[in-house]
Amino acid sequence: MSRVRLFFYRRLGLTAGRRNRMEAGRCRRLANIVLGDHNAFTAGCWLWPQNTDYDGVRIRIGSYNYFNRNLMIDACGYVEVGDHNMFGPDVYITDSNHQFGLGVSPASQPMSDGRVKIGSHCWIGAKAVILKDVALGDYCVVAAGAVVTKSFPPGSVIAGVPAQLLRAEAEVLPEPTLAPGEYAESKELTQ
């Protein structure tokens, strides 16, 4: 079903690379979405650009990302996701905010648009919320349930409401070079 869904999405304007998998979910304004290669979207994922005429890209997703169930990317401005990221279930990413004021309904006000950029090799925990004008550098870890309201540099481990820096990783570990289907064995398990 995923191939059929992607076939029709492409016909409706989606730009998508090779070997993406998209289970049941919702997308609109497909011409405003660009997907790289080898991304996996599990059931309930929403890619939701603003429902207005626009000739550009509002959601750009790199390659080799895994999006767990019920993720929503809500884009009025621009949301960019790098490569090799993992997103837990129920993650919400938005680049906009409702305007409000005393005596004025937020529903009657225009949205305040911004940007969100998530680097590569990040791990976003379950039920995390990433808000407007946030940039996360490469190799960031966002704890489950965190609400990210500001930007963090590469290697940051963040948690809390609002999210705070727990630690910054000083060095990047080398990527393991394993063949598909091969698993690294721990010395502790083999001794």
Give, in order, the Cα–Cα distances in Å from 98 to each of 92, 111, 183: 16, 5, 46
Bridge-based pairing state of the strands 21-22 and 115-118: unpaired
- For tokens 């690294």, what's the residue? 184
107 DSSP assignment:
G
Closest CA to 128 of 142, 114, 149: 142
CA gap 67, 87 in Å, rounded: 5
Catalytic residue among 38, 84, 98, 121: 98
Q: φ, ψ for residue 161 (rounded to 5)?
A: -130, 105
For residue 132, give the nearest of 45, 54, 73 by alpha carbon.
73
Query: Is 98 tagged catalytic?
Result: yes
The residue with tokens 């060095």 is 171
Whose CA is closest to 69, among 50, 95, 46? 46
- Catalytic amino acids? 98
